[in-house]
Amino acid sequence: MEFETAKEIIEALIFASDAPVTLSRIRAALEEADEELLQRVVEQLNEEYAQHGHAFEIRRVAGGFQMFTRPHLAQWVRKYHRGRARQRLSRAALEALAIIAFKQPISRAEVAAVRGVNSDGVFKNLLERNLITMAGRASTVGRPVLYKTTEHFLAYFGINSLADLPSLEEVEALLKARAPQEEGEPTVVEATMESPAPAGSNGDGEAQ
């Protein structure tokens, strides 16, 4: 089959799909497709889209290919989808996900041990959002349920595989290299008070 024809077919499959299209799914329609062909087709399509100023591009997420609108159009698409935007994950949820991503399969207790705080509410949220799923039970005492990240986890963060996350060694090096003050600001709770705070009342200072 000619390259141009294969390109058209693959484009059609990616266009018509609402989830990342994997090579094996493409093969169901186009037997001769292989990784190399797919790669070439996608590169060329993206080039054409860019040249002609199309509003979308093909990106590789969760082991497959999918069409996405270009980021600079996000503000308008977002308006159109108003009310449907998913809430960002909480810091607690992101922490738990980070731990699960690197230590999976892992039990709730192990995640709580690293975070130093009970994480059950976070697990419920992550399960509901299909970012993690159960992965059997540990053979240790009590046979706790183990959890792992899902394919949707990869798609949600726009990465192709777990290998796209920075390694823990890289993170360690970053932490060592960095000045201590640069860390992200924790969220702030506000409370209105009628009288001064007791014992040092240094809450004001800590917030800055």
CA dihedral for 91, 95, 96, 98, sign (positive or negative) = positive
Q: At closest approach, how far in Å is the CB of 102 from another protein?
A: 7
125 binds another protein (CB under 8 A): no
Q: At closest approach, how far in Å is the CB of 48 from another protein?
A: 19
| Nearer to another protein among residue 36 and residue 206 (C-beta) | 206
> For residue 60, what are the contacts with CB-CB under 8 A and spacing of at least 6?
20, 42, 160
Provide DSSP, 10-28: HHHHHHH-SSPBPHHHHHH
| Nearer to another protein among residue 35 and residue 183 (C-beta) | 183
Q: How many CB atoms lie within 10 A of CB 67?
A: 20
Q: At closest approach, how far in Å is the CB of 157 from another protein?
A: 4
Q: Token match 């709580």: residue?
A: 112
Q: At closest approach, how far in Å is the CB of 31 from another protein?
A: 17
Q: CA-to-CA distance for 55 and 59, rounded, in angstroms? A: 13
133 binds another protein (CB under 8 A): yes
Q: CA-to-CA distance for 168 and 27, rounded, in angstroms? A: 36
Among 1, 5, 8, 19, binds another protein (CB under 8 A): 19
Strand partners, 64: 61
Q: Interface residues for another protein in 47-106 (CB under 8 A)?
A: 59, 66-69, 71, 74, 77, 81, 84-85, 88-89, 91-92, 94-95, 97-99, 101-102
158 binds another protein (CB under 8 A): yes
Q: At closest approach, how far in Å is the CB of 23 from another protein?
A: 16
User: And the tokens for 13?
Assistant: 């499959």
| Nearer to another protein among residue 38 and residue 155 (C-beta) | 155
Q: At closest approach, how far in Å is the CB of 30 from another protein?
A: 17
Please provide the size of the chain in residues.
Answer: 208
Cβ atoms of 7 and 43 closer than 8 Å: no
Number of residues that bind another protein (CB under 8 A): 75
| Nearer to another protein among residue 36 and residue 187 (C-beta) | 187
User: And the tokens for 29?
Assistant: 């329609």
Among 5, 39, 130, 161, binds another protein (CB under 8 A): 130
